[in-house]
Amino acid sequence: MLSMPRGAAVIYPKDAAQIVSMADVYPGARVVEAGVGSGALTMSLLRAVGDHGSLLSVERRDDFAAIATGNVEAFFGGTHPAWELAVGDLADVLPTARAAGAVDRVVLDMLAPWENIDAVATALAPGGVVLAYVATTTQLSRFAEDLKADGRFTEPLASETMLREWHLEGLAVRPSHRMVAHTGFLVTSRRMADGVAAPLRRRRPAKSTQTEDAAELEALARDAARVQIGEDWTPEDLGERGVTPKKARRAGRHAGAIRDAAVHEGEGDGVEEQA
């Protein structure tokens, strides 16, 4: 996954493993992912749902969809029976592609996941899980607060995973000098049944915070968390390097060549077995 052609940055295996586990993706599950990128997470989700599950992947960019198709088909040696790829906005694709309450899990890897909360809540079955992968604390706070305000989800949980390898050589057993630290935050929540209210999470404030201005400060913090930077979020807003169309086309051709080689090799193996 780390060496395959890519347009968008891939989700690292440490995060992909956490996503599959924390979203409770199981064999036979009906899953939707939005923001396919280069297809790294798609591979993990397809291995989790198996041949008898289903995975609808929604990607806004045609060039990214082409890269993901090449990478996924090269990884599996051809098309996967559980995979369906659609190009477009999730809010437009999901209502027509899946019936209300017919989805078990939704994984969002996009700049502004809060824009799709209503579409996700409509598609998820009661008890279904939504998980968002976001890069910054601003996105994390905005998505969590909007989930709470929506009223159809449980209290969101947030986490991040840091991975540090160790150097093993004789008696020189020590942590590596470099580590993959922050890559992204995972925010998870469950869809409640219609008519069920989320229990209030009661927090006892510290005595030191009980001032006349405490309520005002809390309101200001809540408003600041809901501020949106501009109308549309871009990778540059988050300090990420944007992907040019030229780079995406080059990665797409590379992924297609690897896929064709993998499929051709698989066909050759089948001929040898028959002989």
Phi, psi at 68, each rounded to 5°: -65, -40
Sequence-distant (≥ 6) Cβ neighbours of residue 266 within 8 angstroms: 77, 78
What is the predicted pLDDT for the residue at 53? 98
| pLDDT, tens only, 154-170 | 999 999 999 999 999 99
Q: Which two tokens stand for residue 113?
A: 């996941």
What is the predicted pLDDT for the residue at 227? 47
Q: Where are the domains of the chain?
A: 13-263
Interaxial angle between packed helices 137-150 and 214-225, expressed in degrees from 0 to 180 and rounded to the nearest 10? 100
Angular region, 237: left φ>0, alpha ψ -120 to 50, beta rest = alpha
Of 12-16, 94-98, 207-211, 220-224, the range with the highest mean pLDDT is: 94-98
Q: Give the pLDDT band of residue 260 (cuts 50, 70, 90).
A: confident
- The span from the CA of 32 to the CA of 12, in Å, is 19
- How many CB atoms are located within 10 Å of the residue 138 CB? 17
Lowest mean pLDDT among 44-48, 229-233, 239-243: 229-233
Q: In what order do the strands lie in the sheet with 124-134?
A: 83-87, 54-59, 30-34, 103-108, 124-134, 185-190, 157-159
CB 157 within 8 Å of CB 188: yes
Strand pairing report for 103-108 and 83-87: unpaired
Average predicted confidence (pLDDT) for the chain: 86
Percentage of the residues of the chain whose pLDDT score is greater than 70: 81
Of 104-118, 215-229, 247-261, the range with the highest mean pLDDT is: 104-118
What is the predicted pLDDT for the residue at 246? 78
State the burial class of residue 64 (Cβ atoms within 10 Å of its Cβ: 0-12, 13-18, 19+). buried
pLDDT of 179 above 80: yes
pLDDT of 274 above 90: no
Would you give the end-to-end CA distance of the chain in angstroms?
A: 33
pLDDT of 25 above 70: yes
Across 77-98, average pLDDT = 97
Instruction: Tell if the pTM clears 0.85, that is, is over it.
Output: no
Nearest Cα to Cα of residue 127 among 72, 189, 204, 174: 189
Strand pairing report for 166-169 and 185-190: unpaired
What is the predicted pLDDT for the residue at 67? 93
pLDDT of 219 above 70: no
CATH superfamily of 13-263: Vaccinia Virus protein VP39 (3.40.50.150)
Three-state DSSP class for 187? strand
What is the predicted pLDDT for the residue at 228? 46
Residue type at 249 in one-letter notation: R
Q: Find where tokens 């899990």 sit.
A: 105
Across 71-86, average pLDDT = 96
Q: Give the pLDDT band of residue 255 (cuts 50, 70, 90).
A: confident
pLDDT of 247 above 70: yes
User: Where are the extended beta strands (E) located within 22-162?
Assistant: 30-34, 54-59, 83-87, 103-108, 124-134, 157-159
